[in-house]
A and B are shown apart, each in its own frame.
Chain A
Amino acid sequence: MTGRKKDLIITSSGKNVTPVDIENALRETRWISEAVVYGDRKPYLVCMVTLDPDEAPKLAQQLGVSADMTSMARDASVREVIQAAIDNANTRFARIEQVKRFVILDHNLTQAAGELTPTFKTKRAFVYERYANVFNALYEDEARS
């Protein structure tokens, strides 16, 4: 677990960050099926998560909200649960490695969309590209303030 050099992300302040550990920590959360951290040449890390299709209906029931993925992704109480999970994961990491903002994608990544390869690897470069607007939106308010 130590001495790894991934350097997948180099933030705008020049810090090298590996998203592997934080993504693993996020994925340990029951409700999250996929967590893709982003932040190359950005001031902080953000994350796109997908809700676990098996667990999401249970979360919806628990919160008394619709189990529809699209509405869940936007629901404030769902976001609160995910925020709490991210806050919890963040406590295990240094500031630079913490996820500051997140977005819930309203669907899981698929092979059909080319987001997963035939052997089920996540095509990270493709995901970053495909959801560039989604990721970039997580920095917009910051830029304005």
Chain B
Amino acid sequence: MTGSGGVNDASLGRHDQALVGAPAHPREIVVTLRDGSRVTVRPIRPQDAAPLRAGFERLSDESRYRRFLSPMQELSGPMLRYLTEVDHHDHEALIAVGADGTILGVARSVRSRSDPQVAEAAVTVADDWQGRGLGTALLGLLAERARAEGISRFTALMLATNRNMLDLLEDLGPVRILERASGTIELEITLPRRGAGPHLHELLRGSASGRYKVIATPPEGLDS
């Protein structure tokens, strides 16, 4: 249920419920990164196709290659639909949106067809936003969403040299190497067992170490 009033640090439980709740009315949260900049994180919507394409076009060849492990030049219409028209159950994508509405990062998980408890995860952060903890925040929040949808493990396929992503995943939970071949590595990460609430507290604790912090915001339309 959404629209149940403002949320603050004292009512994180309600905040969590709202965040994992009805995807048709997704909640937004504001994440303050370690350099003090603020981004809004929320589930992706079909209307995000244009900004997603624009965000992709701003990515360096390197970042695009890391995301798709192939030289993707642009996102086609069908691809954009696949990436934005998600069911928020088997396929979830959280986006980080800047003050000007541009998409600064995406964390996505798609449930495995062979094992419903497993989802493949992928994270992309705009080049000039890398190194600020945005990927960590997005992946942490995505893990929370995935847990709520019955996912207990993420898999991730990446370039074996993608140290940043490896670090990010190791921060999330115990990591096991599934395959290492042709310069790529596939990992499996066991998601934290705890529920969304404590995990959000963990995220908040992360803020104490200066990584980033999560600030809950009122639901849309309720700002006074």
Interface, chain A (partner B; CB < 8 A): 1, 4-9, 20-21, 23-24, 26-28, 34-36, 40, 54, 117-125, 128
Contacts and interface: CB of A to CB of B under 8 A. Distances in A.
Nearest to B157: A121
Interface stretch (B64-72, B131-139, B215-223): B64-72
B182 A8 contact: yes
Contact of B61 (A20, A117, A120): A20
A121 B68 contact: yes
Nearest to A8: B183
B71 A24 contact: yes
B68 A23 contact: no
Given A120-B68, A122-B69, 11 more contacts: A5-B161, A20-B62, A24-B73, A34-B70, A35-B70, A35-B71, A120-B79, A122-B68, A123-B69, A123-B157, A124-B69
Interface in B32-72: 60-62, 65, 67-72
B142 to A, nearest CB: 12
Given A27-B71, A119-B120, A54 B161 contact: no
B76 A54 contact: yes
Interface of B is mostly: mixed
A29 to B, nearest CB: 10
B82 interface: yes
A125 B67 contact: no
A108 to B, nearest CB: 11
A58 B179 CA distance: 40
